[in-house]
Chains A and B, each alone.
Chain A
Amino acid sequence: MQRRDFFKKLGTAAAVTAVLPSMSFAGSAKPTGPNKMDYDTAVKTITGGKTPKPSKKVKLKVPEIAENGAVVPVTVTVDSPMTESNYVKAIHILTGKNSNARCIDVYLTPANGKAMFATRIKLGGTQNVTALVELSNGEFLTASQSVKVTIGGCG
């Protein structure tokens, strides 16, 4: 790798963490133990005290029974026009009982065209999986579903 290239990338990484200091827990100091953020605290941190509304616009696709908690596919789709004035700002996937409720935070822009994101997560046991969606007008929408886990995946 070129030296110049390396510094450029370092710069972008630093800029990204600098822009999102309050939103991104990844950019903050390295945690020493399990980040004990329970579900309610996580929701409060993300929404800043607002109560999220359950909405049918948010479609959360997770299996009802997961055989293996180590690999649980999750798909979140949000019904949104994704224009400059009305778009989905962020999708957060939260879990009810994992030692850190915040699983993943995804930040979107109007350029995404469709608010859709899929990944695979770990679940320590039977619990609720929640998608918390932040809209550009400051509203928060949620959808959740309980997942039965036969073999835990966190230990």
Chain B
Amino acid sequence: MAGIKVKAKLKGGVVKVKAMAKHAMMTYNMAEKKTGSRDNANFITHITATVNGETVLDMSTSQFLSKNPIFKFQFKGIGKKGDKVQMIATDLKGNTLKGKGKIK
């Protein structure tokens, strides 16, 4: 199953994270056009990013993110080099996507 690619870099005390979730992000309209049924729509609805169990980002998303959406964000004061940024996404069908990346 598809996952999330996470890249994190520590510079000047700030950790910058780039992440890409591999997901089709099918909207209702697209699903109807391509498969004839609105029920085939599937998109990520919720994503959280954690470092050492602390949440650094929490977001609700909708169908209007692009296919394979990219997220860029940053945080400071949590985590050091070698720690892992963990991201978990839940989609409409209940699947979870997971990914983690070491802070470099």
Partner of B59 from A105, A113, A155 at Cβ < 8 Å: A105
Contact B30 A154 (CB under 8 A): yes
> Given A30-B92, A111-B56 in contact, is the A117-B62 Cβ separation under 8 Å?
no
A13 interfacial by beta-carbon distance below 8 Å: yes
Residues of chain B within 8 A (CB-CB) of A75 are: 72
Contact B69 A100 (CB under 8 A): no
Contact A13 B66 (CB under 8 A): no
Contact A112 B65 (CB under 8 A): no
> What's the minimum C-beta distance from B55 to chain A, rounded to whole angstroms?
7
Question: What bracket does the count of chain A residues touching chain B fall in?
Answer: 35 or more
Partner of B60 from A24, A73, A108 at Cβ < 8 Å: A24
A145 interfacial by beta-carbon distance below 8 Å: no
Q: Report A114-155 residues with CB < 8 Å from chain B CB.
A: 114, 116-123, 153-155
Contact B62 A16 (CB under 8 A): no
CA distance in complex: A35, B62 (Å) = 10
Partner of A120 from B13, B46, B54, B65 at Cβ < 8 Å: B65
Contact A120 B70 (CB under 8 A): yes
Contact A121 B65 (CB under 8 A): yes
Partner of B88 from A9, A112, A116, A118 at Cβ < 8 Å: A9
Contact A119 B77 (CB under 8 A): no
CA distance in complex: A152, B23 (Å) = 20
> Given A13-B88, A33-B38, A34-B29 in contact, is the A118-B60 Cβ separation under 8 Å?
no
Contact B59 A104 (CB under 8 A): yes
CA distance in complex: A12, B66 (Å) = 26
B81 interfacial by beta-carbon distance below 8 Å: no
Contact A34 B28 (CB under 8 A): yes
The 4 closest A-B pairs by CB, nearest first: A113-B76, A26-B45, A118-B72, A120-B66
A-B contact pairs, 7 of them (CB 8 A): A71-B67, A75-B72, A103-B61, A113-B75, A119-B65, A122-B25, A122-B65
